[in-house]
Amino acid sequence: MFTGLIQSLGTIQFQSGDRISITCDQHTANLIVGDLAIGDSVAVDGICLTVEEILPQGFLATASPETLSRTRLGKENLEYNNVNLETSLRVGSKLGGHFVTGHIDGVGHLQTIEQTANSWEISFTAPETVARYIVPKGSITINGISLTVAESNTDGTWFKVAVIPHTYAHTNLYLLKNGSQVNLEADILGKYVEKLLNFGKLPQSITPEFLIENGYI
């Protein structure tokens, strides 16, 4: 479990097969590798990866086929290899963002970016796997960053966030261009609400077979 508050930037490189190496920024590397242990979880651009080997300024991990299929890491051309890094949440630590699982729901694309007097307003498009959970003032994780949805269209396939200068400068958001791919994770609360609302829900059409199966005939 993570909070969506980025601790360091890093660079990612693919080794043989699905094995990847992550090298942390030299100025903030200690925040990630300072007390890192084999088997620990680290959010890499919002993707929960398991540390398999510790390097002097980073670590090695393996990206599963599921991870590659659902995230920007599995795309043919990795547009930018800078990644946002966060170690897992400790019991008793401050929760400054929101509960982030590190399980990516889909890949979105940057649509527009505009600098205002006190923030950066950035809009994205989202696939349906994420869109149905997006609501104004709700939480969204973009490349591992906990952000608040400023506005969205009705079905959530388009949304906008306002990013403060500190977050913009200290994450890989500043590297994005129109059309850039980003990892998206919807707020887990919305997923549980959807599950509960659909639990035991009747089918759209009640057929004789359905009535027989459920003891009505």
In the chain, the domains with their CATH numbers are 8-87 (2.40.30.20), 106-198 (2.40.30.20)
Query: What is the reported pTM?
Result: 0.87
At 75 the pLDDT is 81
112-149, pLDDT tens digit by residue? 999 999 999 999 999 999 999 999 999 999 999 999 99
At 78 the pLDDT is 84
Measured from the Cβ of residue 129, the count of other Cβ atoms closer than 10 Å reads 14
At 197 the pLDDT is 78
Which residues, given as ranges, of the chain have pLDDT below 50?
Answer: none
At 141 the pLDDT is 98
At 206 the pLDDT is 59
Q: What Cα–Cα distance (Å) separates residue 147 from each residue in 6, 23, 39, 100, 217?
A: 11, 25, 28, 11, 52
At 17 the pLDDT is 77
